[in-house]
């Protein structure tokens, strides 16, 4: 992601050089480039926390860090879901969490995820060994605030 922002910054600088024909437009463009560079820098430093901490897929949703880790087992797929604050990655234990799963054959399943205080995450067993792509929408209700994340995995 950093390379994307670096490329964007490079293109903005090249645009500044090419369009810098008049003093007025150069000053306006220079200010805009400085602002864009500041935004890019902040995004690059903010996105460093969107990395997986548990080996799963990550979604940053507002002030929250969501991570889904599917683990294939004999009886199906064990789903570990980490719901954390985005700033300090502290676990959020008192949410109501539900996974809506589209199975490889197109059928839908809804699973409540229960909080595991020892592992500081939510978990459920998806009793399916069907091969193919699974689409998962996880919804968390945190004291009335709805937080959603979309994930997929293949078995």
pLDDT of residue 46: 38
Asked if residues 83 and 64 have their Cβ atoms less than 8 Å apart, the reply is yes
Q: Which of 93, 84, 96, 92 is nearest to 56 (CA)?
A: 84
Query: What is the distance between the alpha carbons of residues 76 and 136, in angstroms, rounded to a whole number?
Result: 15
Per-residue model confidence as pLDDT tens digits over 100-119 = 999 999 999 999 999 999 99
Tell me the β-bridge partners of 69.
80
Per-residue model confidence as pLDDT tens digits over 15-71 = 555 445 444 454 544 455 554 544 443 333 333 345 556 678 999 999 999 999 999
pLDDT of residue 56: 84
Query: What is the distance between the alpha carbons of residues 94 and 142, in angstroms, rounded to a whole number?
Result: 7
Q: Show the tokens assigned to 132.
A: 């193919």
Per-residue model confidence as pLDDT tens digits over 115-135 = 999 999 999 999 998 999 999
Q: What is the pTM of this model?
A: 0.66
């Amino acid at each position: 992601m950093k390379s994307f922002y670096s490329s964007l910054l490079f293109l903005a600088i090249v645009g500044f050089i090419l369009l810098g024909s008049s003093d007025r437009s150069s000053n306006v463009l220079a200010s805009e480039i400085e602002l864009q560079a500041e935004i890019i820098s902040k995004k690059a430093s903010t996105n460093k926390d969107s990395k997986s901490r548990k080996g799963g897929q990550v979604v940053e949703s507002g002030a929250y860090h969501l991570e889904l880790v599917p683990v294939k087992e004999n009886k199906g797929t064990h789903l570990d879901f980490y719901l954390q604050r985005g700033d300090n990655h502290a676990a959020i234990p008192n949410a109501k969490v539900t996974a809506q799963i589209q199975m490889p054959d197109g059928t839908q399943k809804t699973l409540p995820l229960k909080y595991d205080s020892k592992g500081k995450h939510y978990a459920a067993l998806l009793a399916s060994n069907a091969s193919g792509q699974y689409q998962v929408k996880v919804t968390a209700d945190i004291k009335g605030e709805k937080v959603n994340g979309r994930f997929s995995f293949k078995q």
